[in-house]
Structures are given as C-alpha cells and as structure tokens.
Chain A
Amino acid sequence: DSGVTQTPKHLITATGQRVTLRCSPRSGDLSVYWYQQSLDQGLQFLIQYYNGEERAKGNILERFSAQQFPDLHSELNLSSLELGDSALYFCASSVVGLAGYTGELFFGEGSRLTVL
C-alpha cells in the first residue's frame, strides 16, 4: 500500500460526458502528480501541483483540468470525453516539490476510465 488513494477505481461513461477523478496523497506529501497510461501512449505526465499551486505541466489536453485543494487532495476533471481518453489515470505524490525533485513518486492504484 503506497498510501496514495484514488477514487473511483473504475469508471465507465459515454463520449461527451465529464468525469472527476480524485486523489488523496500520502500523509505529509505536498506534491501531487497526474499521469495517463494508455496502450498506445505509455505513461504520460499530465500535471503536477505543489501545496495547492500548479508546478509543472505536461501533455495535458485543454479539455482536462486539475486542482489541488487546501487539504492537499487533488481532482482531475476530464470533460467532453472522447473514446481516446480511455486509459488508466494515476495519481502520485512525493515530499519534494518546489526545490527540485529528489524523492521517489508513490503511486495510487489508478482510476481506469472507459469511454464508450
């Protein structure tokens, strides 16, 4: 158990819909990262938050957005869903953020999104 909690574990929805994925980081970790794992794209970094503020951005689509709340949990919002958005979405947390990355990321079990 990594200590990172993601909900829901599985989600099935239709094209055009909007979903929210939730992540609770390990106790004490200030950084939250979101990754997308699809069959043809591998593990793609989407976005990182550190203590409530966006810290780094990767290949995140404009239809996707995220935020980190004062209690440090994070939500990833996916809207206008397309078939190609079907993937496993991982959240990870780490201790280090602003000063530079030195620690390992601890990953949640992922949220599997299926868009029909």
Chain B
Amino acid sequence: AQKVTQAQTEISVVEKEDVTLDCVYETRDTTYYLFWYKQPPSGELVFLIRRNSFDEQNEISGRYSWNFQKSTSSFNFTITASQVVDSAVYFCALSTTDKLIFGTGTRLQVFP
C-alpha cells in the first residue's frame, strides 16, 4: 500500500527564517512520482514540484529547495528566508499509478 506521512501538523516561523517541511512516503513500487502542492488561504491547490523515483538530484527553485532521499524514503521541502506570503498548507503527494495520494499536510504560518 502507498502512504505519505507529514508528521508536522503546523509550523510557525518568523519572516526570514528557513523552514523545512518533512515528507516520508511508503511504496513497494520501484517507479513512482513525488509531488509538493501548496494550498494558500484562498483554497486552490498549486503545483510546486514533481520528482520521479529515478532522479535523486536535489532541486532548487528560488527560495524553494527539495531534498529527495530514497534511502530514507523522504522528500523534504525547504523554504529559505521565509516570507509572509509563504503561509499556506503544504501537501506532499505520491503517485505510483493513476492516482495521487496526499499526506495530511503541514500548515506553515510565517509571521512578520
């Protein structure tokens, strides 16, 4: 069975702090995809990144970076120099076939 665990329910930081959101996944498949989505207070789900199971290269996009480690089944997300606009719920997700399974989300609050 596939499972995604986001153990951090809520994180609060002050602006400009770095913050890491943890994601641990379970799957027996060798081919799979991992995702991060952002859900701001307005409610829509915004795609942030996709990684496939064969590509463990870390990725950086501006203030966002992702650390994929197959050895620990983790796909962590770091926001550097957080901003108030980063306040949202962040979901990690796993896909092995045609459905995307989400973690329970981490609510990030960035205070000025």
Are A2 and B99 in contact (CB-based, < 8 A)?
no
**CA–CA, A43 to B105, complex, Å?**
9
Give the number of residues in B that approach A within 8 Å (Cβ atoms): 23
Are B97 and A100 in contact (CB-based, < 8 A)?
yes
Most buried by B among A50, A105, A112: A105
Contact of A110 among B43, B91, B100, B101 (CB under 8 A): B43
Contact of B105 among A42, A102, A103 (CB under 8 A): A42
- Chain A positions within 8 Å of B, measured between CB atoms, are 2, 31, 33, 35, 42-43, 45, 48, 50, 55-56, 58, 88, 90, 92, 97, 100-110, 112
Contacts A42-B104, A104-B50 known; A56 to B43 CB distance under 8 Å?
A: no
Contacts of B37 in A (CB 8 A): 107
Contacts A104-B50, A105-B47 known; A56 to B104 CB distance under 8 Å?
A: no
Are B33 and A102 in contact (CB-based, < 8 A)?
yes
Are A45 and B45 in contact (CB-based, < 8 A)?
no
